[in-house]
Structure 1
Amino acid sequence: MSHGHQQYRWLVGASILLTRGRQIKGIARYRRGFTIVELLIVIVVIGILAAISIVAYSGIQDRARYSSYRSDIGNINKAIMLYAVDNGAYPTNGVPAGGVATNVGTGTGNFISGLTPTYLSKIPDTQNWSNGANYYAYIWSANGANYKIIRVVPSGSVPAVELIGNIDIDPTRGNRSWGYWSAGGSGL
């Protein structure tokens, strides 16, 4: 073999090694980080999961608020029933039949007198929704023979979570209110 041929082999071998070294080095450099597409996919997936979590959490809060309303108005209803057993009639204050209920029971006041402290330690406060326009109303007939205790939304409809499976929708006000009433009190 001539000296020129050996030199050529050496140059070809060195060239292959250099080329392979660059390829290996290039692959290693490529594998060190993530591409912009991979990062965007991860960000989108995290965003979708966060949105689902926020919606689920909001639904849980609404159901908890509804459970609180249901419990509060149920306790008021039980107190009214006990009052009627002891006094022979339902309390005759609040909004008379045909009257307009406006923010009855939104504060800490006693909007059905005679119930506290004997039948309830205090009348539960209305936990207002963000617009502050929700309240409980107690409606009674003139002779104290019938009553209705309802949770009212003055306009629009109560939130959907309160309507699903709720058998106590007020027949007089439709989707604006629900609650409890005496046998003859549904039309009040």
Structure 2
Amino acid sequence: MGAASEKDAEKIADAVRMAQKGSQDAFMELYQLFYHELYAYACYMLHHKQDAEDVVADTIVAAYESIGRLRDVYRFRQWLFKILSNKCRKKLKSYAERNKHHSRSFGGETKQDKDPDISDGKDLEKEATDREWVRDAFAVLTDEERYIVNSFLLAGYRGEEIAESLGIGASTLRSKYRRALMKMRKKLDP
């Protein structure tokens, strides 16, 4: 770990400690530091800006309410993203449920009865099914494996950053990443 990243990690840890003691200013500093990352991740996962904003807001509230239970102040970022990931997963599940309900509600119409410029919902249903399929593949992973895959593929972090955040070596990270992808591949291609 370089001197700059050690200094940054210590600054974040200090802010977390202060927030745990009730400092709203320290929590706001953390919020400002991570907001754009959280929002980008939520937008990528949900493909809907308003829902991403809502999920990030829910994440921040949950983090604020439970920061006192965070044991390792150096893992604040991972903890925050785990909360966000869970919130996104719940929102995606609600999308799938809503799409199933809409599919049943409009099931009797034929294509000729509809305006050609209005979606028949099959694209939304396919998208929800695809997301469910990917969620099922993610479900076979451990929390650490999900964090690794999400960090690489969705959040766009470099291997060194992910390895550092987990306190493991780069080669160990690469092995875990490959194993996680193989597990997902097995689930997707039975």
Q: TM-score range by the shorter chain?
A: under 0.3
Higher gyration radius (CA) = 1
Which structure shows the bigger proportion of residues in strand conformation?
1
TM-score between both structures, scaled by the size of structure 1: 0.27
